[in-house]
Copies of this chain bind each other. A is one copy, B any other.
Amino acid sequence: MKISQIGEFGLIQVLKGILSSPIIGDDTAPVEINGETLLLTTDCMVEDRHFKRFYAPEVVGWKVISVNVSDVVASGGNALYALVSLALPDIEVAYVEGLYRGIKEACSFYGCQVVGGNITKAEKIVIDAFMLGKTDRFVSRSGAKPGDKLYVSGTLGDAKAGLELLLLERKKYEDFELKLIERHIRPTARIDYIKHIRKYANACIDISDGLSSDVWHLSRMSGVKISIKSNDIPVSEELKLFCKKHGRNPLEYALTGGEDYQLLFTHPEDRYNPFLDMKCIGFVEEGSGAYIDGETLHPMGFDHFR
């Protein structure tokens, strides 16, 4: 049986069984050391899967740190220390320098630090980052409670539209198109939400596989029924313009687009904070499954092997 027959998430289930570890399957792994909750996570970028060689190396470096910080933020934590493991062909040193400038810039922005790493040779560029964070309260994917409302930060679907635009490799882009491209190549982890998530969220996940998949992750891991309303899903003006121009449906982009790295979280309604760009898109009840406008929500997010 090949991996593609069971998919990325099927494989993770198989491996969890072998390790018989209960904590695998969240955005980060929480471990207690001396009464402190540390958060461990890793995320990887592979050439021609997550980025192309023609991207500026600075943005690739920025992104690999951002996606790891995003996982730490989704667990209610602050990122502290990173290791970067590079597998590289014999490329220009200038490229690797650009990569590291992007990594350093991201670390300065997020308040973390690269303390080590590893370099090895390979045929394609693989950049693996490991992040150590900490929190006073670990927020998991499994804490959503009946009665909670479901919230999302920012807008969804932009990164997917940005990627499609970027792959056209046009010489000129309109302003709104450049903004969408920026959302793809330079996602920003929502560190402005750390305090809110840590203090109030019952469950949280960063949307990296697409809203429809990630709502299912929350529902399954929390053992609850989650319903969302399509009209409430926040989409940007830029995405609306893009969809108008290309005859697409913004909702499809918002539901299936991974890599927005926005946060999806639940808590009681009275914890709503008007100073954050959070929007209520649904609610949590006893039961199981994920629904949109009363119909079953089909998970259409990204699976590396399907």
A179 interface residue per 8 A CB criterion: no
| Contact stretch, chosen from A114-122, A184-192, A219-227, A242-250 | A114-122
A94 interface residue per 8 A CB criterion: yes
Shortest distance in angstroms between A52's beta carbon and chain B's nearest beta carbon?
A: 15
Query: Which parts of A45-82 form the interface with B (CB within 8 Å)?
Result: 46, 49-50, 80-81
A92 interface residue per 8 A CB criterion: yes
Once the chains bind, are B100 and A40 in contact (CB under 8 Å)? no
What residues of B have a CB within 8 angstroms of the CB of A8 in the complex?
Answer: 119
A296 interface residue per 8 A CB criterion: no
A12 interface residue per 8 A CB criterion: yes
Once the chains bind, are A118 and B11 in contact (CB under 8 Å)? no
Once the chains bind, are B116 and A23 in contact (CB under 8 Å)? yes
A115 touching B42 in the complex, CB below 8 Å, given contacts A1-B92, A33-B36, A96-B3: no
Query: Which parts of A82-103 form the interface with B (CB within 8 Å)?
Result: 83, 85, 87-88, 90-94, 96-97, 100-101, 103
Once the chains bind, are B91 and A3 in contact (CB under 8 Å)? yes
- Chain B residue nearest in CB terms to A12: B119
Complex Cα distance, B89 from A304, in Å, reads: 10
Complex Cα distance, B19 from A5, in Å, reads: 42
Q: How many residues of A contact B (CB 8 A)?
A: 69
Once the chains bind, are B305 and A31 in contact (CB under 8 Å)? no
What residues of B have a CB within 8 angstroms of the CB of A124 in the complex?
Answer: 122-124
| Contact stretch, chosen from A128-136, A138-146, A259-267 | A128-136
Complex Cα distance, B40 from A114, in Å, reads: 11
The residue that A130 contacts in the complex, of B3, B15, B42, B100, with Cβ under 8 A, is B42
A228 interface residue per 8 A CB criterion: no
Shortest distance in angstroms between A264's beta carbon and chain B's nearest beta carbon?
A: 19
Complex Cα distance, B16 from A97, in Å, reads: 10
The residue that A97 contacts in the complex, of B2, B14, B46, B117, with Cβ under 8 A, is B14
Shortest distance in angstroms between A120's beta carbon and chain B's nearest beta carbon?
A: 5
| Subset of 13 A-B contacts with CB under 8 Å | A3-B88, A28-B116, A29-B116, A31-B81, A41-B116, A42-B128, A44-B118, A44-B120, A49-B120, A49-B121, A85-B130, A90-B305, A126-B128
Question: What are the 10 A-B residue pairs with the smallest beta carbon separation, nearest first?
Answer: A29-B115, A29-B116, A130-B130, A121-B304, A128-B128, A18-B100, A42-B83, A42-B85, A4-B90, A46-B122
Beyond A24-B114, A29-B83, A31-B132: 10 further Cβ-contacts under 8 Å? A14-B93, A15-B97, A18-B97, A18-B100, A21-B115, A40-B130, A44-B85, A44-B118, A46-B120, A122-B124
